[in-house]
Structures are given as C-alpha cells and as structure tokens.
Amino acid sequence: MFRARLLFFLLPIATLLQAQPIIDNFEQNNLDNWTLISGNAEITGDIAYADMYSVRLFEQDDGDVATSMIRHKTFDQSWGRYKVKCYADGPVSDVIFRFQYINENNYYEIICNPTMTDNPVLALNKVVDGVFENLDSLDPIVGLDRWFQITLSRTCAGEIIVLIDDVEQIRVIDNDIRETGSIGLGAWAESSYFDDLTYEDMGGNIIVNLEETICSGTFYTLGDERYGETGFYSDTIISPTGCDSIVNLDLEVKVHYLSTIYDTICAGETVNFDGQILDRTGRYVRELESQFGCDSIVEFVLLVLGADTIRMDTTICEGDFMVFGDDTINTPGFYYDTLSSNGECVGVIELLLEVVDAIFSLGPDRSSCFDQGQALTLSLDGQEDILWSDGTMGSSFTVNEPGVYWAEASFGSCTIRDSIAFVNLCDEVPKVYIPNGFSPNGDSQNDIFCPQFASGGLPYHLRVFDRFGGLIFSADDLSPGQGWDGMVDGKEAPMAVYLYLIEIEGEKYTGDITIVR
C-alpha cells in the first residue's frame, strides 16, 4: 500500500502539564456519560486494564450493524492530549478513537487495527462535511490479545501527533476542524475494549525558546521590536491560527574583531601576505568571515628597514595611551624610534600621534507626561552619523515613552556612547521611581542602579539576580543614591536584562533592569 507521510518540524511547544483528569475509567459500572451512536456497548469485567471494569464495544447479534460507537455526552475540549488503553479481541477487530467530534459528518479519527487482523493498519483520517480523507497511514506495531495505549495530541497550531505506547508514529498539520468537539470510542465486528481514558489540557499558548547569535552592528527582529544587544527578551505573537505564541529570545551579539600582525624586512627583501608579495612599508588588510558570518579583519603592518624613514600616523582617544618603542605616550606630536631586523638593517620610524578629544552628552535624565501624548526630541548638533538605541541613524531622535535611550558616535577611531533616562510624570510625582535601565560606563550619568524618590529618601534593601535566578548583588540599609554599580565579583556585568527586588519600609518592588554600556 502506497503511503505518503507528511512531516512538519516545528519549534518546541512547551506546556504546563497538569495532573491528568480522568474522563472515564469505567469503574462506576455504567455508561451515564456516554451516548450510544450505533451497535452495542457494555461495562464488562471480563477483560480490564486496571481495577475491575472496562467498556466493551461489539457488533449487533443480528449482524446488521457492524460498527459500534459511543460518544461522550459532556466532554468538550479542544487543545490537549488524550490517552486511552485499548484491546482488540479477534481477527476482524478494529479499534477506533474519534476526536474533535462535531457530528457524524465532521470529525477526526485514529484507527489502530493490530497485526493478525483482516485489515492491519494505523491510520489518521478526517471527515469534513461528509467527505472522507486519509491524512496518514502506516503498518501497525501492536498485536492481538494485549493492551496498548493510544496517545493523541492536538495543539492550537493545528499539529496532530499520534503515539502508540509512547512512541511517536504520526505527525501532521491540519486546520480544517478547529471547533471544539467531543470524543468517541468505536469498534467494528468482534469485540474491542477500552479503559482508563484521560485528558491533559495543553492550552492555546505556544512557547518557543530561541537561541540566536548576530554580529555587532546588526539587529534581530522579534515581533515589532529589534534587538541589537546581548540579553534575554520575550514577546507574544498572535499566530495565523489565533494562538498566542510566546517567544523567548536568548540573544548573543558577537563583535567584529581586528587582528594585527607586525613584520619587518630589510630593503630589497619581500614577504608573502595572503598571496601578495610585499616589499614596501604599509598596512595591508584582509577581510575574513567568522563562524557567525561576522566580517572580521586581519591587518598586516610591514616595516621595510634600511630605506627611507618610515612614517606612521596614529589616532587615539582622549584618555587612552599607546606604547611606542620603550615609551608610553598619550599627547599629540611627533615621535621617533629605531628598529633593526635581525641585526642586518636599521630603520627610523617617525610617528605622528593625534589625540581626539571626543566628548558629547545627551544631558541629565529628564521627565515628561507621556500619558498625554507629549514627546521629546534628542539632538546632537553637528553630528549626522549618530547611531541611536533603536538602530536608526541621524542627528536627532524622538522619545515617545519612558525608558533608557543611548546614542553612539564615532570620531576618527574613537567611539563614544552616552545614555539618558526618561521618567513618566503626569498627574503627580510617584513616591518611588525605579528605572528600567542604567549605563555604568563611568561618565557620572546613570552609573548606579537605585530607586529615585520624589522627595528626600529612605533607606532600602536591594537584591539583584541574573536571568537564571542567581543572586549577584545584595546590600541592606542603602542610602538614597547608593546602589548597584554594575560590577559582579570585581568584573563588569555583561549587557543584559537582570531582575531586582527592592524593599522600602516593608514594601517590596520587583522588576527587571537592563545594563546599557
């Protein structure tokens, strides 16, 4: 028999599994919760999976109706996992389980006919408006005269998964019947038995956990948001089928890297760099691609000694320094040094050092009544190529809601970043304001995470946790203005989202805080 299997590989679906409520274990010795659709059904103690009773379905004595079917009267669920124990008791026995059973013209069904029967098969079928369709079929894996378990999972995303004795056999996607419906048990001809029918609610949410890596300077889009910094983010997306997809993103940003190789040769000699034969002083660059697709650069600096004076121009930022020969220098000007190559030749190096005094500021933290639609504009006059915290470029940026924002500018080889926090103040100033981000970069602005008080201030206790729940900072009886400086065990904490617990006069405040450097 030709069999086409439809395979879909979806992202992991996580659910909060509750205890399995029993739909029926038939120990009440009645079928009050069931409606007989056709054939015969009875509670029996002859063959039972557990305890004393099971339900037996069998054909009419006169043989006029071969199919027996019962439907649950009140059970009406949609997204979940059903489990039922089954037993086929003859060479023409069929085992049938129907779900999302709207009526006799609209339902799904699993048919599991054991080996050694006249029609051995495991099949997933559907009937829509009376039209039958087989979704998948394969050879059965169970035999006669033994109990086996059918497990059926139906998700909000339309995924249907069939397991036999906890081993997955069929997985398809089908959304034709999305209405909530009841369930049914059925048999054909000779007796089939069912016992211990249970259901687990899987809810309508799909929880997807993503681990992604991007290169610095690029962004990962999740829903309506773009993220360009290492951290843990979460968003809720409504799927085309109406399910709430909760997406958790663990994002790692890999930085571009620069590797510099220095070499010296004597005049008249050559050196091979990436297939290039070089004989002149200079900087030579080769672009590479890392395993994450991030462009990286290998810089080869060649000095040819014994010829003309070697001229080098270098720029550093205010406050930085560089080593030149045996000296450490940080002021602009010309510097000279001599080099030798294996004692065979000597050259003079002239260095022109330029120091860039690159300072810009977004100013102190500010407040606005964002609830009334007020917006504020940040601008840095004279700077066009400013990178803002949302990934846009330009000399200005519009703030429409409270939060922490940053700007980054390049001055030659120097890159400077500053941040600013905006507080929402409308009808009245809150007693305590706790920012959701800070920038411990040593610029004396937003360097400390601490609560802000409308007036005065009170001693408070602070606990900070990483996203795994580990305690990384703890302090009691802090004064206003004191708090966490973004250090953990003497090292800078990475840019990420952290959780906090603040207690002020017995009142507790919790939330998350983002480090922006």
Say what the pLDDT of residue 13 is.
Answer: 30
Tokens linked to 508: 């507790």
Say what the pLDDT of residue 255 is.
Answer: 65
Give Cα 193 to chain centroid, integer Å: 44
Binned at pLDDT 50, 70 and 90, residue 4 comes out as very low
In terms of C-beta distances under 8 Å and separation of at least 24 residues, what long-range contacts does 396-401 make, across chains too?
399/368, 399/375, 400/370, 400/375, 401/370
* More confident position, 433 or 64: 433
Over range 283-295, report the average pLDDT.
Answer: 65
Longest pairwise C-alpha distance within the chain: 114
**For 34-52, what is each residue's pLDDT tens digit?**
999 988 999 999 999 988 9
Angstrom distance (rounded) from CA 46 to CA 29: 13
* More confident position, 485 or 273: 485
**For 414-461, what is each residue's pLDDT tens digit?**
777 777 877 766 644 456 778 888 888 887 778 899 988 766 678 999
Could you tell me how many residues make up the chain? 517
**For 493-513, what is each residue's pLDDT tens digit?**
888 888 888 998 888 888 888
Q: Give the N- to C-terminal CA distance of the chain in Å, as an integer.
A: 64
Binned at pLDDT 50, 70 and 90, residue 10 comes out as very low
**For 124-161, what is each residue's pLDDT tens digit?**
999 999 999 999 999 988 888 899 999 999 887 788 99
Say what the pLDDT of residue 280 is.
Answer: 83
Say what the pLDDT of residue 14 is.
Answer: 31
Over range 345-349, report the average pLDDT.
Answer: 77
Average pLDDT, the chain: 80
Over range 107-115, report the average pLDDT.
Answer: 94
Say what the pLDDT of residue 293 is.
Answer: 59
Tokens linked to 441: 């970069």
Say what the pLDDT of residue 79 is.
Answer: 80
**For 220-255, what is each residue's pLDDT tens digit?**
887 778 888 888 888 776 655 556 667 788 988 876
Instruction: Using the predicted structure, report yes or no on whether residue 478 has a pLDDT greater than 80.
Output: yes
Over range 201-219, report the average pLDDT.
Answer: 74
Angstrom distance (rounded) from CA 274 to CA 262: 14
**For 374-409, what is each residue's pLDDT tens digit?**
667 777 665 667 888 888 888 788 888 877 788 887
Instruction: Characterize 33-72 residue by residue with b for buried, 16 or more Cβ atoms within 10 angstroms of its Cβ, and e for exposed.
Output: ebeebbbbbebbeeebbeeebbbbbbbeeeeeeebbbbbb
CATH 3.40.47.10 fits 22-201, yes or no: no
Distances (CA, A) of 230 to 122, 496, 508, 516: 48, 6, 28, 10
Say what the pLDDT of residue 130 is.
Answer: 93
For the chain, what are the domain ranges?
Answer: 22-201, 205-253, 258-356, 431-517
**Could you identify the residue written with the tokens 């124990």?**
85
Q: So what's the architecture of 431-517 in CATH?
A: Sandwich (2.60)
CB distance 271 to 278 below 8 Å: yes
Binned at pLDDT 50, 70 and 90, residue 187 comes out as very high
Tokens linked to 37: 């659709």
Angstrom distance (rounded) from CA 438 to CA 415: 19
Give Cα 87 to chain centroid, integer Å: 43
* 22-201 and 431-517: identical CATH topology: no
